[in-house]
Amino acid sequence: MNDFHSLGLGDELIEGLDAMGIRTPTPIQAQAIPAALEGRDLIACAQTGTGKTAAFLLPLIDTIYSYKAKAEGIRALVIVPTRELALQIDQQLQAIAYFTPITSISIYGGTDGSSFDQQKAALVGGTEIIIATPGKLLSHLNLGYVPTKGLEFLVLDEADRMLDMGFIDDIQRIIKFLPAERQTLMFSATMAPAIRELTRTVLKDPLEITIALSKPAEGVDQQAYVIYEAQKAAILEHILKTTEATSIIVFAGKKVEVKNLARHLAKRGFNAQAMHSDLEQNEREETILSFRNRRLRIMVATNVVSRGIDIDDIDLVINYDVPRDPEDYVHRVGRTARAARKGQAVTFVNDKEMREFGRIEKLIGYEVKKMPMPQAIGDGPAYRPDAKVASTNGNRRGPSGGQRGGNSRR
């Protein structure tokens, strides 16, 4: 069996991993770390939970520590889609590199003037590893004081999510500030055509690594309610009142839906708060901390939480709507039953989302258990995942056959 010594890492990093209780590399780490240490560009397709963060942090730290006197200033830049992921990666880096003198900082928006000045001081002072969101990093780069001449490594993490969020232009602008001679590592949960195109423009002869998308863990009890849209709120309240779960994430697709749903649940007496990108950074951090510490029972969230937020011991995940991307279902459901624990995942499938849920069932390779409707709420529609989408002058039909017209989801 491989261990981290066999991958070529130094003793100081091995000591840090041992202190964290990490002794055996995951498949993505076993493939990516040796190649990265050899100086290869990488494109790695691996989902959240596979250990991909350590797969790029370990070779960066090892190389910078081993050749600390090679260059001054910023040595590595890690670009990520969200503030939460930037903070999480920085925290993991500090833990892994505890026995080394490596310096790092996370750079993200939503901060006040003093935080901006602190970020500027760290950038100008030559902090070695920068973990940043695209917009805020570009703000600093445009002001002309960021020393990128000695940069050796660029990491694009959650590349598909950054493209989905519209960061492609910012990423291209950032790359123009960086040395052409550098090592670039790209990590993505999916390998869409846009990712392939980005790979061709920013990587040189990359090694491609693909870790197959994992199915939901066996410990996840997956359930689905086939319902009409108007029944969603009643079903949600029924579940929240009857479940013994103490740590619950409710995923919704849009920020406005998250805000309204969290407000509705709070008015109904549930211990619930919203988690979305419009919150101030201190509000977001407080919400996550409260949820981790079990002071908050229900977090209503957009997809910002489904990837890149490391929260263990979640009892129940509720998909208030069917995820647009079937792989997002796996990411959402993967928030529960982690580390061989048990968990539950419930998805609301309305009469206009059956085909989309059918795509999810094809991806995971089996049908998700359909739950009977509570008598007080009434019957839902028949589940017809293969029903064709009808069009009547672009207008949706009512809740009689589960069909819809046009391409709009809601």
Which residue carries 């409710």 as its tokens?
250
Q: Which residues 6+ apart lie within 8 Å of 1 measured at CB? A: 24
Higher model confidence: residue 278 or residue 319?
319
Residue ranges of domains in the chain, CATH in brackets: 5-210 (3.40.50.300), 220-370 (3.40.50.300)
113-142 pLDDT, tens digit per residue, is: 678 899 999 999 989 999 999 999 999 999
Looking at every residue in the chain, the average pLDDT score rounds to 85
Contact present, 388 and 402 (Cβ < 8 Å): no
Residue 304's pLDDT is what?
63
Q: What is the DSSP string of 314-369?
A: B-EEEESS--SSHHHHHHHHTTBS-TT--EEEEEEEETT-HHHHHHHHHHHTSPPE
C-alpha 325/C-alpha 359 separation (Å) is 9
Residue 15 confidence (pLDDT) above 70? yes
Q: Which two tokens stand for residue 366?
A: 């089996």
57-93 pLDDT, tens digit per residue, is: 999 999 998 875 556 789 999 999 988 889 889 999 9
Q: What is the DSSP string of 132-192?
A: E-HHHHHHHHHTT----TT--EEEE-SHHHHHHTT-HHHHHHHHHTS-SS-EEEEEES---
Residue 306's pLDDT is what?
59
